[in-house]
Structure 1
């Protein structure tokens, strides 16, 4: 954002103001938003929604893996347990029949139903081979289902999945009717194929569940979080492109979560920045107007000063009495013209402090306002300590007291007709150690509550209609330059402003040098 304002030699380049109406503002905002959407951006390929989808799928797949692996291990144990259950039944039949009384065909059918190559039973110290087809030359792997830990079951499941076809497996389980054990020798290939089918089916179902769950989670989060954040981002980009746009209300604004708070804070910030830019525009326009007025007013004051010099030569007593006041007022007016751009371009000069009689300075303020005379409808009361001296710049302190007194006079004049007994301006002065306290009070309606928050800010603290709001701001700035402060005293009739003006610190080295030189 690059906004330059120049006020020099009666010319100014003002920044563009905001659109005139809400329709134009909204149209401009929509245009900027559309331009931003059309602008290519590499970050769009993996934005917040893409990251959200990737994380959702990754975590759901991780959860599926944690479910599939134990499921496959449990499937293997169940499959082998079924074979052992069939072997126990066959063992009961074969063990109960006398030897050589079981036909070979029945033996093969029993082994076929179990899916085993051999079935053996061990009781006490006797191990008996109940049935056998072609006895394998050796057994490749052993599995004891009497005591299987979860981690061992998972490792055995992976071992079976990675085994070669044709591997033989010896499986041991508890014997029927307790005591001993029953064991079978089987071909592991059917188990491996069954486990592969089971894994494929579970994985397919898991992928379907993952896709559906991921889509639902993504759509839900995108609707609840990504969409409002994307809208807020577009508003930020539009505001960055043209900060002069007025703040547009975001919808929805009733959310009570962090996104709703971010939307409300952004609208507040946008409104504050817009107000600040409007104030800067106002200041730029004011600087241009004041520079023109300053140029012409100084010429007019120069002519009036020549006329006042001629009035000084007239012997009329009334003219001689008012001419010094007129000349003093003209001198101050010319000096003020040199600093009329205090809030537009220049700054207030540093105070030229010296000891000034406060009573005399207050008398000049009263004479400038024309108060305290018999024809005045506003009363004037002074209560200043005798011989009170204040360490200040006389011209700047005069401006402070004049601004405060003029504000009080305007507040009292608003309820005309005035009565000097009722409508009064009171100025008091006293010393409290190294601080001079001056109070300017009136018996008017007081300062409205709405004006107190920004009372000493330029263009903000005006308490009357048509006021510029600069008088109190100038007074506060001049008091700060003196190292003092100004504040509104609460709980008083009308408005009471208190000035606290400290003396300058004593330079002990300079004081000793001055005494030694003397």
Structure 2
């Protein structure tokens, strides 16, 4: 019971209603005490009027009048003269006096609480105004025992009534909460459990139906999350299938390229000057294709090969990239240039860095060709005691906002029309394998700049 929302709400409602009743109880018990004392004053005044009507009454009749009024004596002030009308022996001295003529609410509440707390019987003096202006004041002395007993009886009845009201109110609220809040929440929980059993089934996605604004917002947020998760799971399944297909294709393609590599070995023995000039580039291209197939197979196994670090001249590697891209820009006004110190040597995996720079240049080249404008792609590099920095800059149209939001996410961050975004995702993974960073430095109407930052120290490279 205590572990349920409705159960806790029931208990809290009872507690809060009881607190409210207690706040009402204190003024009401003070009001009851005041009415009790005023009624005793009125009774005493009626008894005194009998004496005023007949100056001589018997002691027995006087005692009976005082007993009926439940007082010990009555003093009536008429015409500035204080006159003891009725009197009887008092069991003990007067302990307190209370003037009801101008008593404030705070005084009445304080006196009532004090009377409830103190169980010892006492004799008190009570002063008030006579009813119907039958004098200037009336004063009585009385015992507090009957007063306190009446106050306790009245308080118990009020508390019992308050408890009944609290329980009934809490029960009604309990039923209302179960109907309007707990039941809809249980419905949402049921939807969540049903969805968890088969998250790829779009029929299990919750449909917002609640009329409560807050609960409907929760249902709408849950619907959005479930829709995105279902799409992601379906995409993951498609990627897994695609990965299997790519692995098979890469395996067969690697075998074909290996055969082509054997033929290029014979081409290198040709004495033709043109063949001699082109053969090394052809061999390098086929070798990189073979390495790419092997890397693709490793990627399909979710394990990108660790970089094989070696020293090489960066300018030569960038020149090879330009040569491989040069044929793709024939008929288009796209120029390649580099500003790399001839003596700058890097320690990295040359094949992986070739793939990264080639991907960046290829994306820039495709974007400029699709825009139909002339442009230039420039690769610059610099080194510091801690890092090598490579910048690939183009004068293309810049990246669209959607491409910037999903830049390095496969199948979502394509920078060109029809692109898959795999190139940038793989490039970022390769650079991270070196302990470096690949980031978009700037983009806009004037062009785009990507920055490759590679650490120079072996410790920064993550080598063991």
Shorter-chain TM-score category? Answer: 0.7 to 0.9
Please say if 1:406 is aligned against 2:356: no
More helix by share: 2
Classify the secondary structure of the residue corresponding to 2:418.
coil
Match of 1:499 in 2: 451
User: What are the superposed Cα offsets for residues 262-301 of structure 1, whole Å, 9 maximum, x if unpaired?
Assistant: 5565555545544543443343223322222232222222
Match of 2:286 in 1: 330
Please say if 1:182 is aligned against 2:140: yes
CA distance in 1, matches of 2:355, 2:211: 48
Match of 1:446 in 2: 398
How far apart are 1:475 and its partner, in Å? 2.0
Matching residue within 405, 414, 431 for 1:462: 414
Matching residue within 88, 101, 113 for 1:154: 113
Match of 1:32 in 2: none
Equivalent pairs, count: 440
Please say if 1:58 is aligned against 2:11: no
CA distance in 1, matches of 2:376, 2:16: 77
How far apart are 1:409 and its partner, in Å? 3.2
Please say if 1:67 is aligned against 2:19: no
Match of 2:438 in 1: 486
How far apart are 1:53 and its partner, in Å? 1.0
Match of 2:103 in 1: none
How far apart are 1:382 and its partner, in Å? 1.7
Please say if 1:130 is aligned against 2:86: yes
Kindly tell me: are residues 278 and 159 of structure 1, through their superposed partners in 2, closer, same or farther at Cα, counting changes over 3 Å?
Answer: same
Contact preservation (8 Å) 1:253, 1:263: no
Kindly tell me: are residues 318 and 248 of structure 1, through their superposed partners in 2, closer, same or farther at Cα, counting changes over 3 Å?
Answer: farther
Contact preservation (8 Å) 1:372, 1:379: no
How far apart are 1:459 and its partner, in Å? 2.4
Match of 1:308 in 2: 264
Match of 1:476 in 2: 428
CA distance in 1, matches of 2:457, 2:36: 99
CA distance in 2, matches of 1:449, 1:381: 26
CA distance in 1, matches of 2:338, 2:295: 32
TM-score (norm. length: structure 1): 0.68
What are the within-5 Å matches in structure 2 for residues 99-498 of structure 1? 101-102=56-57, 110=65, 114-116=68-70, 119=73, 121=75, 130=86, 139=91, 146=98, 150-154=109-113, 156-157=115-116, 172-174=125-127, 181-183=139-141, 188=146, 192=149, 196=153, 198-199=154-155, 202-203=158-159, 205-207=161-163, 209-211=165-167, 213-215=169-171, 217-218=173-174, 226=182, 229-244=185-200, 248=206, 250-251=208-209, 255=213, 266-267=222-223, 269-271=225-227, 273-341=229-297, 343-371=299-327, 376-385=331-340, 387-391=342-346, 392-414=348-370, 422-431=373-382, 433-434=384-385, 436-493=388-445, 495-498=447-450
CA distance in 2, matches of 1:479, 1:185: 97
Moved more, 62-71 or 357-366: 62-71
Match of 1:29 in 2: none
How far apart are 1:471 and its partner, in Å? 0.8
Classify the secondary structure of the residue corresponding to 1:352.
coil
Kindly tell me: are residues 80 and 352 of structure 1, through their superposed partners in 2, closer, same or farther at Cα, counting changes over 3 Å?
Answer: same
CA distance in 1, matches of 2:324, 2:42: 118
CA distance in 1, matches of 2:123, 2:311: 114
Moved more, 435-444 or 395-404: 435-444
Contact preservation (8 Å) 2:394, 2:449: no
Contact preservation (8 Å) 2:206, 2:219: no
Tell me which stretches of 4 or more aligned residues in structure 1 moved more than 6 Å.
Answer: 103-106, 126-129, 140-143
Match of 1:82 in 2: 39
Moved more, 318-327 or 215-224: 215-224
CA distance in 1, matches of 2:58, 2:18: 54
CA distance in 2, matches of 1:386, 1:153: 98
User: What are the superposed Cα offsets for residues 103-143 of structure 1, whole Å, 9 maximum, x if unpaired?
Assistant: 6897587457x4448645599xx9968377xx9xx859988
How far apart are 1:455 and its partner, in Å? 0.8
Please say if 1:94 is aligned against 2:46: no
Kindly tell me: are residues 236 and 96 of structure 1, through their superposed partners in 2, closer, same or farther at Cα, counting changes over 3 Å?
Answer: same
Contact preservation (8 Å) 1:80, 1:171: no
Classify the secondary structure of the residue corresponding to 2:442.
coil
Moved more, 353-362 or 450-459: 353-362
Please say if 1:48 is aligned against 2:32: no
User: What are the superposed Cα offsets for residues 384-414 of structure 1, whole Å, 9 maximum, x if unpaired?
Assistant: 3452423032212211122122223333443
TM-score (norm. length: structure 2): 0.75
Moved more, 211-220 or 454-463: 211-220
Contact preservation (8 Å) 2:436, 2:455: no
CA distance in 2, matches of 1:210, 1:56: 7
Q: Which has the higher contact order (CA 8 A, sep 6+)?
A: 1
User: What are the superposed Cα offsets for residues 126-163 of structure 1, whole Å, 9 maximum, x if unpaired?
Assistant: 9968377xx9xx85998856268645533544778xx9
How far apart are 1:48 and its partner, in Å? 0.4
Kindly tell me: are residues 436 and 234 of structure 1, through their superposed partners in 2, closer, same or farther at Cα, counting changes over 3 Å?
Answer: same
How far apart are 1:60 and its partner, in Å? 0.8
